Structure 1
Amino acid sequence: MFKTYDQILMELLTSLRSNTGITDLQPGSLAYTIMAVVARGLRGLWFMLEQVVKLFFVSTSYGTFLERRCNERGVFRKLGTVATGTVRFTRTSPSPISTNLKQGTLLATMDGKIEFAVTTDINLPLGWTSVAVPVACLTIGKVGNLATGTALQVVGIAVVGVQNVSVEALSGGVDTESDGELRARYLFTIQNPQNGGTAADYLVWAMEVQGVVHAIPLPLSRGPGTVDVVVSDGSIPPDALVKAVSDHIQTKRPVGADVKVIKPDQHTIDVTATVTAMTGYALSTLDTQVKQAITTYLSNVPIGGVVRFTGIIQAAMSVPGVLDFNLTAPAANIQLSNTELAVPGLLDVA
């Protein structure tokens, strides 16, 4: 459909020869050179026309142009959220002094790539040995959903008396919806028009809510006229997200439908494995990175999905510096029920 530079040039030379009688059209001639310049300009216009056609169709559009097409049908890109939770400050002996930890104090992973900020002033009292501190990631996305036990460091001025900092519980970080995810949700929405409260309707309505990554409707779960909708943000969702989904669906559901939005049941996945490091890589550093890679893989398994042992291996082997990964447990795939979500348990990686 679209013309290449060579096609355009040949058409120009043929037209020039037939309409003017000019015969010296060899490369290097004045006429050829002029036509070559014109052909390059026309090829630029053809290229732009090709891009316009791509941007018109949702299947090939991208970026803000894709957003505009989706917005026409009421489908909007879901923005990401930051991970929040607690980290634990510890020391081996009771502190001889009290310390005020200020809101905004920065923490980071040991490689410095992911930073967190303390979200409120905390007093570390005289004699303290272990204190939970609330934090929020400074980077939007699931990159902040660090595995329990991940070592952190204080950035900048040291906090007096603190010997160790580690993750206690961090969750809720959701990536901004990618072009592929937005496109898929748009196509599902228009190919499954609302039809009086079908299972597809409830899936569409749940996925419209900011922060929802996985959802599964369960029609007739509590008898005739009932629907349960299980939702997740990649982990066990907070009560606020469950309420937001419930409130949204209440504005959409058919009159008389008894709808209940629920959290998934937690299916703990324990992992036991050994890592062999490449030359020049510290096993202690790889241990943390492999645990994080496994945690990220598990967060991508949907409600009712399958935790594949090969997926765990691939996640671990994707970490730079890992030469080999010997997985002992789980030894086989784990099929989740339609109300279960995989969450990391004991990650024994040595």
Structure 2
Amino acid sequence: MFENQSYEAVLQRMLGRVPDSIDKREGSIIYDALAPAAAELAQAYIELDRVLRLGYVSTSEGEYLERRAEEQNIVKRQATKAIREGTFNIAVKAGERFYIDGLHYKVIEAGIKAKLECETAGAIGNGPLGALLPVQNIPGLTTAVIGTILVPGTDTETNASLKERYKQKITRPATSGNKGHYLQWAGDVPGVGGAKVFPLWDGPKTVKVVIVDATYAPASQELVDKVQQYIDPLPEQGKGAGMAPIGAHVTVESATEKTIDLSAALTLAPGRTLAEAQQEAEQSLDDYLKTIAFKDTVVRYAQIGALLLNLPSVIDHSNLTVNGGTGNVALLETEIPKRGTVSLN
């Protein structure tokens, strides 16, 4: 709005108010007296423009975006800790700590099959696989392996994600147990990355909520149970013991995966290798499939072709097939796509 209020424009306006009988050339007394004030006013216009942008959700950021979101009772989601399964040759005790790849994990549920919580919040806790090292000596321990992600760790919510939730709150108000309310309740549980709601799926007063975890993979049983207990606890279904209204029988389930295989012949860019193209294609396909999870029920053949053409290592491709065919791949309402075999030559 204030793009035209530059230092030069402000200074010229100020000099224009000075009588022409006074020397206004650069270096004159009046010029040198007005120039610093013009510079400060120009800077004030820059800050004023920033204040204006911070006042609107679409252009806001940081703590100012959080303040605007809080007006709609939307709180920025903070990083959460990953909960993983650990396998040991002896029963480990709650509170014992283990180390792998620069991260520490603490036992929160004892046993030979134990639950471990990463001490560092964020998605970083989802990554390590392999042998764990005990921080302190544990007599008799010979095997310690970290495995399945039970509840994914999540990073602090991005500005883009917070804006999207704000937009959803405005366009799809959550009230009186409507679909928007169930989506909100599912998203309130740490580790949930998305949800779909199916009203009356098994007759009157029934609701099914299908979820994926924060990595857009099928949710673990642990996460499903957490969402079930939060929305409509078992065995008190329908009694209003959770967030769902009295009379609503809610069933929470995980989404199922549909494997997406692709095959293509590539023309490589000069100096590039097939291994580089393979890595780029797998990452690009993963990114695309995540963007359509629970948002589209079609994996589009043309889109995958475009992804291959946009790879830095690829000039052209031919003989592209997706799941053995040359057309779109349909998904069920409860399915999410997962990268399968990527065969490139």
Specify the SS of the correspondent of 1:213.
Answer: strand
Specify the SS of the correspondent of 2:243.
Answer: coil
Measured in 2, the distance between the counterparts of 1:79 and 1:315 equals 32
2:15 corresponds in structure 1 to: 13
Measured in 2, the distance between the counterparts of 1:7 and 1:218 equals 60
Are residues 187 and 313 of structure 1, via their aligned partners in 2, closer, same or farther at CA, if it must alter by over 3 Å?
same
1:91 corresponds in structure 2 to: none
Q: Any idea what the Cα deviations from partners look like across 1:158-213, whole Å, max 9, x if unmatched?
A: xxxxxxxxxx9889575653212211201221443332111122122223333322
Matched ranges for 1:82-161 at <5 A: 104=99, 106=101, 140-141=122-123
Q: In the alignment, residue 322 of structure 2 is paired with which amino acid?
A: A
Aligned residues: 291
Matched ranges for 1:157-306 at <5 A: 172=152, 176-233=156-213, 234-250=216-232, 251-303=242-294, 305=296, 306=298
Deviates more, 1:219-228 or 1:323-332: 323-332
Task: Give the deviation of 1:139 after TM superposition.
Answer: 10
Measured in 2, the distance between the counterparts of 1:22 and 1:308 equals 74
Measured in 2, the distance between the counterparts of 1:289 and 1:76 equals 36
Q: Any idea what the Cα deviations from partners look like across 1:282-335, whole Å, max 9, x if unmatched?
A: 322432332232123212222261212233234344443233343222422223
Is the CA contact 2:103–2:125 (under 8 Å) kept in the aligned structure 1? no
Is the CA contact 1:275–1:322 (under 8 Å) kept in the aligned structure 2? yes
Q: In the alignment, residue 316 of structure 2 is paired with which amino acid?
A: D
Measured in 1, the distance between the counterparts of 2:299 and 2:274 equals 26
Q: Any idea what the Cα deviations from partners look like across 1:246-291, whole Å, max 9, x if unmatched?
A: 3333433222111122111322212122333322223224323322
1:323 corresponds in structure 2 to: 315
Are residues 105 and 245 of structure 1, via their aligned partners in 2, closer, same or farther at CA, if it must alter by over 3 Å?
closer
The two structures, once aligned, show a CA RMSD in angstroms of 3.8
2:45 corresponds in structure 1 to: 46
The structure whose RCO (Cα within 8 Å, separation 6+) is larger is: 1
Measured in 2, the distance between the counterparts of 1:143 and 1:47 equals 41
1:26 corresponds in structure 2 to: 25
Is the CA contact 1:246–1:260 (under 8 Å) kept in the aligned structure 2? yes
Matched ranges for 1:56-75 at <5 A: 56-75=55-74
Q: In the alignment, residue 333 of structure 1 is paired with which amino acid?
A: N
2:336 corresponds in structure 1 to: 341
What percent identity do the matched residue pairs reach?
30
Task: Give the deviation of 1:40 after TM superposition.
Answer: 1.1
Specify the SS of the correspondent of 1:185.
Answer: helix
Q: In the alignment, residue 189 of structure 1 is paired with which amino acid?
A: K
Are residues 293 and 85 of structure 1, via their aligned partners in 2, closer, same or farther at CA, if it must alter by over 3 Å?
farther
Deviates more, 1:202-211 or 1:212-221: 202-211
1:309 corresponds in structure 2 to: 301
Measured in 2, the distance between the counterparts of 1:58 and 1:66 equals 6
Are residues 189 and 299 of structure 1, via their aligned partners in 2, closer, same or farther at CA, if it must alter by over 3 Å?
same
- Structure 2 regions of 5+ residues with no counterpart? 86-97, 107-115, 132-146, 233-241
Q: Any idea what the Cα deviations from partners look like across 1:83-137, whole Å, max 9, x if unmatched?
A: 8989xxxxxxxxxxxxxxxx6454xxxxxxxxx97979xxxxxxxxxxxxx9x9x
2:54 corresponds in structure 1 to: 55
Measured in 2, the distance between the counterparts of 1:285 and 1:81 equals 33
Measured in 1, the distance between the counterparts of 2:83 and 2:282 equals 19
Q: In the alignment, residue 279 of structure 2 is paired with which amino acid?
A: T
Q: In the alignment, residue 4 of structure 1 is paired with which amino acid?
A: Q
Measured in 2, the distance between the counterparts of 1:178 and 1:344 equals 25
Measured in 2, the distance between the counterparts of 1:77 and 1:52 equals 21
Instruction: Extract structure 1 runs of 4+ deviating beyond 4 A.
Output: 79-86, 103-106, 116-120, 138-146, 168-176
Measured in 2, the distance between the counterparts of 1:273 and 1:118 equals 42
Q: In the alignment, residue 267 of structure 1 is paired with which amino acid?
A: K
Measured in 1, the distance between the counterparts of 2:281 and 2:84 equals 21
Are residues 294 and 153 of structure 1, via their aligned partners in 2, closer, same or farther at CA, if it must alter by over 3 Å?
farther
Measured in 2, the distance between the counterparts of 1:142 and 1:64 equals 24
Are residues 202 and 241 of structure 1, via their aligned partners in 2, closer, same or farther at CA, if it must alter by over 3 Å?
same
Is the CA contact 1:80–1:211 (under 8 Å) kept in the aligned structure 2? no
